[in-house]
């Protein structure tokens, strides 16, 4: 697949947008990257099943960079709850390894696309309805957060997202303030991305039909362009996240997720 100027422009625009959303919504940008990288790969003749897997893996790899950039901005405002990060991270590593080293390689790209659409659509509905949690509900204890982290890491590994589509609603359900949930989710994006990327590299090394300049399932040209561009806009998104009212932030989050879920649902059903 040639790296023509138009492709670089498309990837750069995607990087700028996903970096901004990573800072604004704490979703790591994966919810936007997966559909658009799938579209870019499919338009250039890559098999539809493989295109979805490449998109998921490449999206996850870029989250390593967007997470570091956005969490820096959130941490400077004191918004990250590091105690939650410490309790969720071990489970995230376990769940991510199970997903990226085993289940991801076994599932068809069509199945992964449908799973992406369903989970994202569910998360969007929860946010859009803005259901209020019971006043006395709190984050579970260490064992509960270990289990929750495993689910977040596992599902993130299957859909190529930084976990924000699960961790933000989960923390909000436990009465964690929305701005804190977004900031903490950005911090969780790093361990989620790192452990899953290692799995995608290991399981994709011997796969046939990958485009040139691939490392396992990760397409390096997209990773490089998107990562470079996204680190510039992630701090801008983080700054805006602290200026928007909570309800509006939730509605923005939900609207973006609905649009992306619809595309991946169509991709899964038509594939």
In whole angstroms, give the CA distance from residue 188 to residue 89.
7
Beta strands in the chain (DSSP E): 214-215, 218-219
DSSP 204-257: HTT-TTPPSSEETTEEHHHHHHHHHHHHHHHHHHHHHHTTS-HHHHHHHHHHHH
Q: How would you write the pLDDT of the chain (271 residues) with one tens digit per residue? A: 556 788 888 889 888 887 787 677 655 566 678 888 888 888 878 887 888 889 889 988 988 887 787 788 778 888 889 999 999 999 999 998 898 888 887 888 788 888 878 877 876 787 677 666 666 778 888 889 999 999 888 888 887 776 666 788 788 888 888 788 888 888 888 888 899 899 999 988 888 888 888 999 999 998 999 888 887 887 787 777 777 776 777 677 778 778 777 877 876 777 5
The model's pTM: 0.77
CA-nearest of 25, 56, 29, 30 to 127 is 25
What's the pLDDT at 130? Answer: 66
Nearest-angstrom CA–CA distance, 118 and 112: 10
pLDDT at 30: 67
CA distances from 128 to 45, 131, 133, 240 (A): 36, 8, 14, 19
Residues 6 or more apart whose CB falls under 8 angstroms from that of 259 comprise none
Q: Return the structure tokens found at 20.
A: 């901004």
């Amino acid at each position: 697949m040639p790296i023509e100027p138009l492709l670089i422009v498309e990837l750069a625009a995607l990087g700028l947008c996903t970096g901004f959303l990573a800072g604004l919504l704490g979703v790591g940008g994966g919810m936007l990257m997966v559909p658009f990288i799938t579209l870019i790969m499919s338009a250039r003749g890559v098999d539809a099943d493989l295109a979805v897997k490449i998109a998921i893996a490449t999206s996850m790899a870029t989250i390593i960079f967007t997470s570091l950039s956005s969490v820096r901005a959130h941490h400077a405002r004191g918004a990250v709850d590091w105690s939650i990060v410490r309790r969720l991270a071990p489970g995230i590593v376990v769940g991510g390894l199970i997903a990226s080293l085993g289940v991801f390689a076994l599932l068809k790209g069509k199945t992964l696309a449908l799973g992406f659409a369903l989970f994202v659509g569910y998360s969007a509905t929860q946010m859009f309805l803005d259901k209020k949690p019971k006043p006395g509900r709190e984050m579970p204890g260490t064992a509960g957060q270990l289990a929750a982290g495993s689910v977040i890491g596992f599902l993130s590994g299957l859909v190529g997202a930084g976990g924000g589509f699960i961790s933000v609603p989960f923390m909000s359900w436990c009465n964690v303030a929305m701005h804190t949930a977004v900031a903490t989710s950005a911090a969780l994006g790093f361990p989620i991305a790192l452990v899953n990327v290692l799995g995608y590299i290991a399981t994709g090394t011997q796969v046939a039909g990958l485009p040139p300049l691939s490392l396992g399932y990760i397409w390096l040209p997209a990773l490089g362009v998107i990562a470079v561009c996204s680190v510039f806009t992630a701090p801008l998104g983080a700054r805006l996240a602290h200026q928007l009212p909570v309800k509006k932030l939730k509605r923005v989050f939900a609207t973006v997720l609905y649009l992306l879920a619809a595309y991946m649902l169509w991709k899964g059903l038509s594939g």
